Amino acid sequence: MTPEELEQIAETERAAQSQFQQRVHVCVAAGCMSCHSQSVKDALDQEVGRRGTKESCRVKGVGCMGLCSEGPLVSTSTGVLYKQVAAGDAAEILDSLEGPAVARLVCRTDVPFFQRQQKIVLENSGVIDPDRIEDYIAAEGYTALIKALTEMAPREVVEQVTKSGLRGRGGAGYPTGLKWSTVAKSVGTQKYVICNADEGDPGAFMDRSVLESDPHRVLEGMLIAAYAVGASEGYIYVRAEYPLAIKRLRNAIRQAERAGLLGANICGTRFSLRLDVRLGAGAFVCGEETALIASVEGKRGTPRPRPPYPAMEGLFGQPTLINNVETYANIAPIIRKGGEWYAQIGTEKSKGTKVFALAGSVQNTGLVEVPMGISLREMVFEIGGGIPEGRKFKAVQTGGPSGGCLPESCLDMPVDYESLARAGSIMGSGGMIVMDQTSCMVDVAKYFMDFCMTESCGKCIPCRVGTYQMHRILTAISTMSATKQDMSMLEELCDLLKHTSLCGLGQSAPNPVVSTLRSFGEEYRAHIDDHKCPAGVCGQQENGEQG
Amino acid sequence: MPSYVSKPTPPNQDKRWKLVDATMRRQGLQARGLIETLHTVQEAFGYLDTPALRYVAMSLRVPLSRAYGVATFYHFFTLKPAGEHTCVICMGTACYIKGAPQLLHAVEHDLGIAAGETTTDQKVSLLTARCLGSCGLAPAVVYDQEVAGKVSVAALQQHLKQWTRP
């Protein structure tokens, strides 16, 4: 594939697309699929066939449009977005292409949920057909790869990524450019690139959406990364729980190989990359990079001490670059438009945009991409549309089981890596769960501790035994049978786990407890001193078991 | 030296072993292909039993203990066959705060089994999931591969009644 050939494909595809005067896009990502969007698409296809307008009207399955709670979503070339569409609405929607919109299905797009977003990672989501490489190429796909291969030295690629200020989107926020240059400098007979798509945080579905909506973007990011660091083999480690993402990813790999954009001597250069999908098997700890590497090697996913870091000794003992899905998805636009362009977006230390999965007790749940530095209040009350049913905001949880619960006093804080860390939470992979007055913070802390206890791999004692003990105390508190000594033991254990666990799972397992103790200490005291759960959650189910 | 050197033979004549063999060959019959192979076995047979683990371990030349260790370490693998129907209740954060524990309690009470178990008549398996990623539809339940959103206790009990009707 030469640059000219790529341009040719893009031209042909654009010409083919412009022949259709009317277009109807149906979301076929997992969120809408589980509300039967496939049957909506089939009905539209059938109706177009029945009317004999196949030449002028195109029905296309596209990726996630964001507002998952209102699915199935359908958008049309007349600029209207329809929500909660059923198969029976097909005829009316097609009629609306030449007339007034179907009022009862219209979803307003002039609201903050859509207006406040800035899309880089998700720019193609909801626009292109994830199953067709031509559609991606027509949307400037793979031009960044060609640019990197033909116009830039590997060193220059790393420079641009460093300039962009991009930081790892998996949670820890390590500077991506720095990681790349370390791997590039490492010496090894064979280098690897790995994409971490083991999205284990409950309440997070950003990576799944990116893979389902725009898989080629992730491949392109990995290709550019492999070129920059000198790798020739790579793996994408995906959760087995995401069958649709796996299917689309495998399809994308096949298409890219056939087009000569993946495999040996890509675009006639000496650069080669072989990519393969590896399925995770439901172990949260495999999101930790050394555990993930062990799992790719076919072993139990247990972490090992670092250093040596994977950048020096990773997969099969060779230098390995591991980045998250969203990190790779940012690469193509950075190379296309330059690192400086990217660095203009966001805050001083956190550049660019971040995709969040907004869920829990908010009006609008779904996927949003916003510039870094937006306030939590804007996230919850403007984009999220506030708390439903007139209930009162209580906390927002970020970072999953490794993160924390932020109270109302933190709402005006900007969302960036440092601010969240200072407030006792973490950016994490981007799950954001809103809780209202009906949630008990002790119960939430217990829920996350139960998660960490079950997911602890058992290799190091602080995590294996510590999470169990903390869970035991939290259970005692929630059944109103804890004492003051239990509380001080709980605090001591928080400290112990944080400082002595082997990997991130154990080190951050106390975070939900620490953050709720800090902001909602009175709830703990109410359970212990007054034997009462202010939210009325605890003691309900346990009562039956106590007897 | 008997079977350790020659190629091990599959536990039985079932044609599905050809799929398993193909996966192992694609991984170069190396230990690193263990997890991929177990995925194929589970996809083909529904679960991993001892003869299957033994066959895979011998073929890839890994100790049986390691194959067993991997199979039990990962939640996705199951050593027991599932029931005729499966009901998966999502216990992700969003589902949890929207009432998933109540759903689980109701099913456990109705069926008389705990999460991860199958009813004695092999009709229904009850499972929990870490997060289905369908957080916009919380609380979510998967009935035999089909995701249902915003599930109430009554709707769930209704669905289970259809399955357990003799």
Q: For residue B29, give Cα distances in angstroms to A326, B8, B33, B62.
A: 33, 12, 7, 10
The verdict on a CB contact (< 8 Å) between B70 and A360 is no
In this model, does residue B4 exceed pLDDT 70? no
| Amino acid A540: pLDDT | 57
* Cross-strand bridge partners of residue A237: A196, A278
Q: Which residues of B touch A69 (CB under 8 A)?
A: 136-137
Kindly state whether residue A394 falls inside one of the protein's structural domains: yes
Does residue B1 surpass a pLDDT of 70?
no
Confidence of residue A21 (pLDDT cuts 50, 70, 90): very high
Task: Report the residue from B66, B75, B146 with minimal CB separation from A282.
Answer: B75
Q: Measured between alpha carbons, how far is B108 from A430 in angstroms, rounded to an integer?
A: 33
Q: Are residues A169 and A243 in the same domain?
A: yes
Mutate which: B23, B29, B35, vs A, most A CBs within 10 A? B35
| Record: contact B134-A34, CB cut-off 8 A | yes
Mean predicted confidence (pLDDT) in A541-547: 39
pLDDT at A271: 97
What residue in A sits closest to B131 (Cα-Cα)?
Answer: A202
Question: Phi and psi (nearest 5°) for A154?
Answer: -50, -40
Among candidates A241, A300, A435 on the partner chain, residue whose Cβ is nearest the Cβ of B69: A300
A108-134 residue pLDDT tens: 999 999 999 999 999 999 999 999 999
Q: Residue B2 has what pLDDT?
A: 47
pLDDT interval class at A396 (50, 70, 90): very high
CATH code at position A368: 3.10.20.600
Establish if A120 belongs to a structural domain: no
Residue A526 has pLDDT above 90, yes or no: yes
Say if B34 is an interface residue toward chain A (CB within 8 Å): yes
- On chain A, the residues whose CB falls within 8 A of the CB of B137 are 31, 34-35, 68-69
The answer on B158 and B90 residing in a single domain is yes
pLDDT at residue B96 greater than cutoff 50 = yes
Clarify whether residues A413 and A279 are in a common domain: no
CATH number for the domain harbouring residue A465: 1.20.1440.230
Q: Which residue type, as a one-letter code, is found at position B99? A: G
Mutate to test the interface with A, among B96, B103, B127, B150 (most CBs of A within 10 A): B96
Q: At residue A249, what is the residue type?
A: L
Interchain contact, B94 vs A299, CB within 8 Å: no
Is B93 in contact with A447 (Cβ distance < 8 A)? yes
CA distances from A505 to A130, A402, A421, A457, B131 (A): 33, 7, 16, 9, 17
Average pLDDT, chain A: 94
Q: pLDDT band for position B147 (50/70/90)?
A: confident
B124: in domain: yes
Domain at A218, CATH number: 3.40.50.11540
Q: Which residues of A touch B149 (CB under 8 A)?
A: 34-35
CA A64/CA A29 separation, integer angstroms: 5
Residue A376 lies in a domain: yes
Q: Are B99 and B132 in the same domain?
A: yes
Q: How far is A420 from chain B (nearest CA, A)?
A: 19
Number of domains in chain A: 4
- Give a yes or no: residue B78 inside a domain: no
A412 occurs within a structural domain: yes
HSE-up (13 A, CA, CB side) for residue A318: 17
Q: Looking at A380, A412, A434, which one is the last position of a domain? A: A434
Which pLDDT does position A547 carry in this prediction? 27
State the smallest CA–CA distance between residue B130 and chain A in angstroms. Answer: 6
Which residue blocks in A230-264 are alpha helix, DSSP H? Answer: 243-258
Q: What is the pLDDT of residue A542?
A: 45
Residues of B in contact with A541 (CB under 8 A): 101-102, 105
Q: State the pLDDT at residue A546.
A: 35
Within 8 A of A280 by CB-CB distance, chain B residues are 74, 76
Q: Is the pLDDT of residue A460 over 80?
A: yes
Cβ distance A435 to B38 less than 8 Å, yes or no, reads no
Q: Which position has the token pair 């969003």?
A: B94
Q: Is residue B12 part of a domain?
A: no
Using a pLDDT cut of 90, give the percent of chain B over it. 81
Between chains, do B36 and A299 touch, taking CB under 8 Å as contact? no
Q: How high is the pLDDT of residue B5?
A: 60
3-state secondary structure of A19: coil
Q: Which of B36, B131, B144, B145 to mutate to test the interface with A (most CBs of A within 10 A)?
A: B131
pLDDT at A200 over 70: yes
**Contact check, Cβ <8 Å, B97/A435:** yes
The verdict on B116 touching A (C-beta cutoff 8 Å) is: no
Residue A544: pLDDT band (50, 70, 90) is very low
- Say how many residues make up chain A: 547
| pLDDT of the residue at A393 | 97
What is the chain A residue with the closest CA to B95?
Answer: A360
Q: Does B150 touch chain A (CB under 8 A)?
A: no
More confident residue, A379 or A35: A379
Same-domain status, B61 and B109: no
Mean pLDDT score, A464-475: 98
Structural domain contains residue B137: yes
What per-residue confidence (pLDDT) applies to B26?
Answer: 94
A299 chain-B contacts, CB cut-off 8 A:
34, 66, 70
**A377-393 pLDDT per residue, tens:** 999 999 999 999 999 99
Radius of gyration of chain B (CA): 19
pLDDT digits (tens, 9 = 90+) for A287-340: 999 999 999 999 999 999 999 999 999 999 999 999 999 999 999 999 999 999
With a CB cutoff of 8 Å and minimum separation 6, the contacts of A481 are none
Q: pLDDT tens for residues A406-451?
A: 999 999 999 999 999 999 899 988 999 999 999 999 999 999 999 9
A149, A278: one domain: yes
> Do B152 and B104 sit in the same domain of this protein?
yes
Residues A32 and A47 in one domain: yes
Q: Does B112 lie in the same domain as B53?
A: no
pLDDT beyond 70 at B23: yes
ipTM score assigned to the predicted complex: 0.91
| Residues of chain B neighbouring A204 (CB-CB closer than 8 A) | 131, 133
Residue A171 φ/ψ region, left for φ over 0, alpha for ψ in the -120 to 50 degree band, beta for the rest: left
Of B66, B96, B98, the CB nearest to A447: B96
Q: How far is B132 from chain A (nearest CA, A)?
A: 7
Residue A211 domain-assigned (yes or no): yes
Share of chain A above pLDDT 70, in %: 99
Domain containing residue A374: 353-434
Domain boundary among B5, B40, B73: B73
Q: Supply the pLDDT for residue A297.
A: 97
Same-domain check for residues B93 and B63: no
> Each residue of A328-377: pLDDT tens digit?
999 999 999 999 999 999 999 999 999 999 999 999 999 999 999 999 99
Average pLDDT over residues B50-78: 96
**A130: closest CA of chain B, how far (Å):** 19
Over chain B, what is the mean pLDDT?
92
Residue A92 above 90 pLDDT? yes
Residue B61's domain spans which residues?
17-73
Interchain proximity B134–A279, CB inside 8 Å: no
Same-domain pairing of A200 and A278: yes
Using a CB-CB cut-off of 8 Å, the residues of chain A touching B30 are: 298
- Cα A500 to Cα A96, A393, A495, A505, distances in angstroms: 63, 35, 9, 11
* Residue B10 lies inside a defined structural domain of this protein: no
pTM: 0.95
Would you call B97 and A541 a contact, using CB atoms and an 8 Å cutoff?
Answer: no
Domain total in chain B: 2
